[in-house]
Structures are given as structure tokens and as C-alpha cells.
Structure 1
Amino acid sequence: MTRPTLATLVPEEIEKIKAASLEILERTGVNIDHIEAREVLQAAGAKVEGERVYFPPKLVMEAIAKAPRQFTIHARNPSKNITVGAGDPVLAPGYGAPYVTLASGLRRKATFVDFIKFAKLSGSSANMGISGGVLVEPSDVAEKDRHNAMLYACIVNSDKPFMGSATGEKHAKDTLRMAGILFDGEKGILKQPVMISLINTITPLMLDERMVGALIAYAEAGQPVIIASLGMAGATSPATLASALALQNAEILAGITLAQTIREGTPVVYGSASSITEMRNGSLSIGAPEGAWIIATAVQIAHSYGLPCRAGGCLTDSKILDLQASYESMMSLQAAGMAGVDFVLHAAGILESYMSMSMEKFIMDDELCSMVRRFLRGTKLDVDDLAVQLIHDVGPGGQFLTSDHTYQNFRTEFWQPTLSNRETYDQWRLNDSLPMINQAEKRVNEIVDNYEIPYLDKSIERKLKEMAGI
């Protein structure tokens, strides 16, 4: 079975972008606001002048070669383990939004109650492989305790893998300690990857102390990291898409080189989050077609290095759950799926250019994820699947509705919606004729109200709760 593939550039064009990135790294360099990181890179062969680090191409390419093409993240429930880079996309919910948008369209600051609800929606999803990280920023939890409270909520409400805090070395080490409690009891030593964390660059060409501190902590512990760049073409990146890709690639390679220099073989994901600037007001546009094109091209670049790629999601600039939110989300998700993205962050719930999350959109996006996953699965082409003999037996003018072949295959061959409505108009009118957003709102309440929290040993839960300060 051949998976649908979306390619935007030919290999020679990809090589031009890669060459430009190496020139940027060697000639312009990257500002790294972390003394230890600069010292480690200098010892490995990089040139350091103040905070500026200049990367020789040989150092970069040798570091890339040390990173694994795929890796497994282990869940506390082994049946929920995920493999990144194996061909099927790992889907993760929205990340980092400070606001929640209600079904009415009203936007407000996110709370810890919202966070728990999103954790339950993610835990119940058959499509999300990750329980979450910063599902939303709960404004009612003190910032010093927020990272532990969020991690506790993700761990308790789901037995899937989770995302670690990347807001500094201390927070990363808190995450590692909590993971140690979960997986190794009192030993606190992680023997295998059990989480993944998002390390963001600052475009153009900067890595700040908090992100680098977290990167070093996770790399030393052998835990996977996504090295992601979010350039705004026309603002923080040059306006042409080629230059935006070259700059993004340079930043990501700098982070990957640091990770491999800290610990050879650290699992890393090439993270693309760049898009364009809405030039009329200077804001980021993530629902633009150029953003979907960057997603597809970034996958080609990442895979040409032998690296798994993070990009895409149900991305939109819309402020509410409307038609714009739907068509932009499907465009970016389908592009990610067809291009072969390995890790799809923001796969469900995100609105307003990463600024807000919607529970109703989470439900609708989850349906989109299911649709795209079915599209990517394709079909088998065995003799029974081709059904030539059946077609011959039925012949012209016949029907297949009552055949055994249909009965044996339709449940696995046909995608079945949980939200989309396929009734006739008359059936729809008889069955409440609820608009989609109201159906999604109803579904949110059903999931949250009836959610069964996975079993977790009470002594472990108590230790995690104490550390979370809840």
C-alpha cells in the first residue's frame, strides 16, 4: 500500500535551502544565552564570540547523523506507547494558549478547571497519542506552581505519554522528578523516553536561557525534545518563503547540534511552526496557505536529514468556531498528513493564531484527525479486496448491498463519523437538527461528565499531588 505523498520542492531545491542554512550558521551564527551551552559547543569545535556561536558545517552534519530517525515514547499504560518517525503521524492537542473561547464566542482567561477538561478530552480521544503539555495556561494557578500542576493533571487524567515543561532548567528537572515518581518509584531514574518537550527558538537566530536550560536537562536524561522555530515571514524572517525556510532550518539545526553535543543519540524532532505575517496589522497568520506550504516543505527538509518532523495541526486564525476555522484547519492538517509529518502538535482545539483553545473545536478537530488518518490509511489491493469475481457474479445492473463481501468489509473499510451528520434532511429534522457547534458542545459535556480516570496507584498519585502543590 502506497501512502499519499505531498512534495513541494525537488531534491535540488531542498539542497539549496540546506546549503543556505549552513552558510547562515557558519557566517552569521546564533546568539545562545547560556554559558554552559556555549562552552560545550566551543569544546566541540564551534567558534564563540560573546553570546554568538558560529557553527562549522562539519559539526552540524556530524550532530545530525547522531540523532535517531525514530524512537518510542513509553506510556504508563504500555498499550499507549507511541513511536515517532515510524510512518504514522503522532497527534497531540493544542499547546500554550492563554485563553479559552466558549461556544458562544466569548473569550476569557483559561483556568485550571479548563485544563482538566481538556486533559479529559485528550485522554478520551482515539486519535491523540499524547495527553498534552500546556493544554492551556491556567491563570488561576501561581506561575511558580503552574508547570507541576499541569503535569499532574495530564498524568492523572490520562495513561498516555505527556509533554514536559520547557520553561527553564528547574521546571524541566521538576518534570523529570515527577516522571521518575511515576515510572520508577523512589529511584527516580528514567531508563527510557517517557515524555517529549517543546524547545522553541527565538527568531531570528536566538536561543534563550530558559529554553536552553530545559533542553540540556532533557538531553542529559535521554528524553526527546522538539526543536522548533516559529518565524514570521515578513517580520521576524525575510518575506520570501525560501529565505524563511533557510532561517528556520538554521535555527533548528543549531538546537539539534547542541542536543547531540550534550548527549549523543538524544531523540530530537525537527520542529517547523513558521508561517507569514499579516502585513496589514503585523500579526502572525497560521491559517494562511503559505503556512501549509511551509509545513509540507519542512517535512521534506527534515526527512532529507533522516530526522522526524513536527509541524501542522488544525491551525486557524479565526477567533471563533466558524467556517474559517473549519477550512483553514482542514487545509493545514491535510497538508501535514499528506506531506508525512511525524508529530502533529496543535492537532485539536486551537483558535486565534495559537492564542486560544476551544473545547467544541477540540471535538470537531478530533473528527478531522480521524478523517485524515482514514485518508492516509488508503486500502489493500489483495484479490479479495479487488473483488473481481464478485463483480462478475453480480454483473450489470446488480447491487452489492446484501452481499457477504459488503457485510465482511464495510466496518473496516468505511470511515464512520462520530460528529458529522449523514442523515437525510427529514431524519435530521426529526433528530433535533442541532447545528454542529451545539452537537460539539453536547459531546464535550458527555465526555467530561462520564470520563473514567485511568487507574493510578494511590501512593504514586499522592506523591505527585504533593509535588504539584495541589
Structure 2
Amino acid sequence: MTQIQPRRSGGRAARHISRSTPLASNERPIRPGLEGGRYNPLGETDMARIHAAALTALEEIGLAGAPESGIAALTGAGAVLGSDGRLRFPRALVEDTLAKANRSVTLFGRDPLQDMQLSGARVHYGTAGAAVHVVDPEGRHYRESTLQDLFEAAKITDHLDNIHFLQRPMVARDITDNREMDYNTVYACCSGTRKHIGTSFSDKAHVADALEMLHLIAGGEDAWRARPFVSNSNCFVVPPMRFATESCEVMEACIAGGMPVLLLSAGMAGATAPSTVAGAIVQSTAECLAGLVYVNAIKPGHPAIFGTWPFGLDLRTGAMSVGSGEQALLSSGCAQMHRYYDLPGGSAAGAADSKLPDMQAGWEQMCSAVMTGLSGCNMVYEAAGMHASLLGFCQESLILGDDLIGQALRCVRGIEVDDETLALDQMREVCLEGPGHYLGTSQTLGRMEKDHVYPKLGDRTSPKEWDEKGKPDLIAKATARKNDILAAPGLAQFDPRIDREIRKRFNIHLRP
């Protein structure tokens, strides 16, 4: 048998230097904002029926629980307050809101290179959640999450190319005062990453503290309002079909402060939302449409993300099943509805029910991460690091998620078909004039960095090479990378003068 020898097209050192030189962002095989939308679990008729059912739910059932300020804004816009205390939304009101809502939202980073344009089917992956534990994969145990853990997650995220934003993934359980926890969360995230950040507030009074801090970080209120790099993740509803009064008041304060809002509806299919995939999508869509009317009644065109986040439920036990196939369908179906309305949208995908970063976590995370990305979801939340049905966050899994999402993004990018990629000229050259293989051809070498995604930690060696390298362990490699990142100076740290000003005004729990 003839042994294939790669054709040389230059020195090995020169080729290595060429491959190691970073590509321009527009030439990389994957990058933030790739266009998805190739996977469509819902047909056009299906989406029209979901829309019609959501309008009927809003018109006939409505939502209870709005604060007085919300009732005033919504009835002023055309909603009807019934004698039962529920606000109902005429179809014309919803349709008018859809016509004037902001369809292209930019979520800014402190570094302009990290800005994200949310429109169409442009896909971004990031963290999110409110985990109360940190996962130690080496010791195989869980402990309560701390502010230091949150800061470290932000710092790690800042180094990961395929984690495009940081929404607070865990709660600082070591801070018992809610006000201090809210502004310390903002501090820890902002001091850890230059990417866009999402956070929540437990009380409307806490928003002013955060805005004061953000004005200091940004260089003044005008600078903040021009480029707000933190958004409010707002659970404005308590499913089914009820406004969360306190969260709505927080939302109003954030809108007044110029902060983008994620309208987050997180019903549990079979518990707080219908058990069917279609029914859960209908309810979440209806709730987010109500939220969209609310936002635009307060400030027309304010940047808002249509956050349909229905979660799966294991109906045998009542446990969440965020790693299930049903979850993948829920989130990808919701992504289609975002595109149906042509609204910036987000859903949850990429989390695991598994307690550790193991094989179960791998299949659970990849299933929903790929499907939701292929569906063109603008913001894929909880896409890395989340375990135990959102109860645990793992820093090693966050790092491994960078590799996993890299492969998911390559699927999102899809297959380009043009004269060059069809490769007929290469086939003629190789088969009629060349050595009978494509190894080392100028086309193969020229596109190997532009077309292919290579894992940073994933192992593709042969068993012999793997054995010769000491049988490297994936978790151990992730831990080593984590330690390297955390040992290096942070790129997002504040100017010392600004940090002193913040610490003089606020009780910051992180050590300087």
C-alpha cells in the first residue's frame, strides 16, 4: 500500500508561525453573532397558532399582581383592569407594541470589542443563573457559593473566547444583607470582566446604589447612559400569568436609569406552565408579550430582551430536567418565536442535571446548546458551568464549556457552498496531477484555521500518544487553566483611584 506523504508547501516553522498568528475577527471560524436559524422545530402554521393562542390568553385571562405604577402605565397604554384585579391586553395593544418595539439592541461591554448586536438570528452564548453552590469536581462535593467565587467566574469568563457575556451565575451566600449583596455582585462582576454583564436586584431601592457605582466605573452618568454595560435580568412574572410586584418595581427603576432589561419568564412545564412543549411556549410567549407592553408603556423603544425561559420538569419526581431533550425543544422553539416577532430574544440552554462535569453533563449540555444556537437564539443563557439543575456552578465546567460552545458555534455557522468550497479545482489537481491526497495542499493549509475549530482542552491524540503524555485528565487540565487565569493580573480591574472611590462609598467585601 502506498504511504501518503504530505506535499510540502513551505517550511514547517513558517507554517507553524502562520497558524499561531491570531486571525482577524472576521476570518475566525467561529465568533460572536454568527447567524443561526437553520433548525426550525416549528412550522410557519405552528408559530402563527402559538401567537394567536398567546394573544387569546392575554385578552381573556390576563395577568394579576402589577404594582400601582404598572397598572397606571398599562391602563394608560390601553390595557383593561378587570374587577378581579387582572390586567387584560386587547390584541390591538399587543400588535401596536410589537410594531414599535426595539428590534435591534446593542448590549455593550466595557471594552467596545465585546459589544453584542442582538438582531435577526445572531447567536451569543453566556452564563446565567442563581446557583447557591460551587461544584468541586476533584473532591466531588458541593459547598455554598461566595462573592470570591463570583469574581473568579467573571475573571475566567473574561479569558474565554466563546463565552460572550457574563450574567451572574451564582449567589454570594456569604453576604447576608440583600442590599450589600446586590451592589457587591455588580462590583465583583465588573471588576472581573470587560464583557457585558447581567444582574438582578431584590429591591427597587437597591438599583440606585448600583447605578451610582456604575456611573463611577463608566466615568459619569452620561458615559454610562451612552454605553450601559450592565443589564437587569428581571423575573417580572411569577408564572402562571402573574406579575411579580417587587420585580416590576425594580424593572421600572432600571428603565429610568438607562439599563437594558431582560424580560424573564421562567415557568416550569408541568408545574407553573402547561406540561406540553407547545403549551409552555404559549404561556411564556404571552407573559413576555405582556412584559414588552409594560416596558414600552413606560419608555417606548427601551432596549428589552424577550426572555422566554420555560424549563423542563421530570414529571415522575417533580425535579427540574434542564438537561433533557424536552428542554432543548422548549428553548429552540422559543428562539423561533423570537424570530417570528423579529425581537431580540434569549432562552436558557447548555445546563446539566448532572452533578459533575461528566459524560452525562456533556450530552445534556451539548444537546440544548446546539439546538438552541441552530434555532438562532440571540442570547443563550446558562450555557456554561451550570450543574444539578441550576443549583451548582462549576468553574472547571465553565472552562470546558468554552470548548463545547466552540463546537456548537461551528454547527451554527453551517456549511458554506461556493466555487472555492466545492473544491472542483482541488479535485482536478489532486486526482489528475497530484499525489492523490489533499494533505498539505495550499487550499487545505490556507483554510485549516478558517474552517476548523480546534479544542483547547479536548484530547484528539491516539491512545499511544495519550499514554506517552501521562494520560492527561480533562478535569485536571481545566483546573490547571483555571489556576493560571486566576493567578494572573485581571484585565478588567478598576483604576486604583476609581476603586478607592467605590470602596469609600460602599462596603465592598472583596479584598483589594
- The answer to whether the 8 Å contact 1:133/1:151 transfers is no
Q: Does residue 97 of the first structure (1) align with residue 131 of the second (2)?
A: yes
Write the mapping of 1:101-250 to structure 2, written as runs, cut at 5 A: 101-103=135-137, 104-130=139-165, 132-142=166-176, 143-185=178-220, 190-200=225-235, 201-250=237-286
| Paired AA for residue 444 in structure 1 | K
Summarize deviations over 1:373-416 as a string: whole Å, max 9, x none.
Answer: 12222354443433322221221661222222222221222211
2:78 corresponds in structure 1 to: 45
Name the larger-Rg structure: 2
Q: Counterparts of 1:88 and 1:276 in 2: how far apart (Å)?
A: 25
Instruction: Give how far 1:419 is off.
Output: 0.9
Q: Does residue 71 of the first structure (1) align with residue 109 of the second (2)?
A: no
- The answer to whether the 8 Å contact 1:349/1:365 transfers is yes
Summarize deviations over 1:112-144 as a string: whole Å, max 9, x none.
Answer: 2211211111111111222x2423111112322
Write the mapping of 1:232-271 to structure 2, written as runs, cut at 5 A: 232-271=268-307
- The answer to whether the 8 Å contact 1:179/1:188 transfers is no
Q: Does residue 294 of the first structure (1) align with residue 330 of the second (2)?
A: yes
Q: Counterparts of 1:204 and 1:399 in 2: how far apart (Å)?
A: 60
Give TM-score scaled by structure 2 length.
Answer: 0.87
2:20 corresponds in structure 1 to: none
Moved more, 194-203 or 109-118: 194-203
Instruction: Give how far 1:3 is off.
Output: 5.1
- Calculate percent identity across the aligned residue pairs: 26
Write the mapping of 1:318-467 to structure 2, written as runs, cut at 5 A: 318-395=354-431, 398-454=436-492, 456-467=494-505
Given the alignment, which residue of 95, 116, 136 partners 1:61? 95
| Paired AA for residue 276 in structure 1 | G
Corresponding residue pairs, total: 469
- The answer to whether the 8 Å contact 2:167/2:199 transfers is yes
- The answer to whether the 8 Å contact 2:66/2:243 transfers is yes
Q: Counterparts of 1:259 and 1:272 in 2: how far apart (Å)?
A: 16
- The answer to whether the 8 Å contact 2:269/2:312 transfers is yes
Q: Counterparts of 2:376 and 2:389 in 1: how far apart (Å)?
A: 23
Q: Counterparts of 1:21 and 1:114 in 2: how far apart (Å)?
A: 40
CA 1:169–1:3 in structure 2 vs 1: closer, same or farther (change >3 Å)?
closer
Instruction: Give how far 1:109 is off.
Output: 0.5
2:348 is paired with a residue whose SS is coil
2:312 is paired with a residue whose SS is strand
| Paired AA for residue 170 in structure 2 | V
| Paired AA for residue 443 in structure 1 | R
Instruction: Give how far 1:189 is off.
Output: 5.7
CA 1:83–1:4 in structure 2 vs 1: closer, same or farther (change >3 Å)?
closer
* Runs of 4+ in structure 1 over 6 Å off: none
Moved more, 452-461 or 419-428: 452-461
CA 1:135–1:437 in structure 2 vs 1: closer, same or farther (change >3 Å)?
same
Moved more, 26-35 or 160-169: 160-169
What RMSD, in angstroms, separates the aligned Cα atoms of the two structures?
2.1
Q: Does residue 279 of the first structure (1) align with residue 315 of the second (2)?
A: yes
- The answer to whether the 8 Å contact 2:168/2:189 transfers is no
Instruction: Give how far 1:79 is off.
Output: 1.6
Moved more, 279-288 or 329-338: 279-288
- The answer to whether the 8 Å contact 1:119/1:135 transfers is no
- The unaligned stretches of length 5 or more in structure 1 are none
- The answer to whether the 8 Å contact 1:296/1:339 transfers is yes
Instruction: Give how far 1:86 is off.
Output: 5.0
Moved more, 45-54 or 153-162: 45-54
Q: Does residue 306 of the first structure (1) align with residue 306 of the second (2)?
A: no
- The answer to whether the 8 Å contact 1:40/1:261 transfers is yes
1:29 corresponds in structure 2 to: 62
2:41 corresponds in structure 1 to: 8
| Paired AA for residue 327 in structure 1 | W
Q: Counterparts of 1:31 and 1:186 in 2: how far apart (Å)?
A: 35
Moved more, 158-167 or 97-106: 158-167
Give TM-score scaled by structure 1 length.
Answer: 0.94
- The unaligned stretches of length 5 or more in structure 2 are 1-33
Q: Counterparts of 1:468 and 1:65 in 2: how far apart (Å)?
A: 42
Moved more, 244-253 or 85-94: 85-94
- The answer to whether the 8 Å contact 1:101/1:356 transfers is yes
CA 1:230–1:165 in structure 2 vs 1: closer, same or farther (change >3 Å)?
closer
2:226 is paired with a residue whose SS is coil
1:108 is paired with a residue whose SS is strand
- The answer to whether the 8 Å contact 1:105/1:321 transfers is no
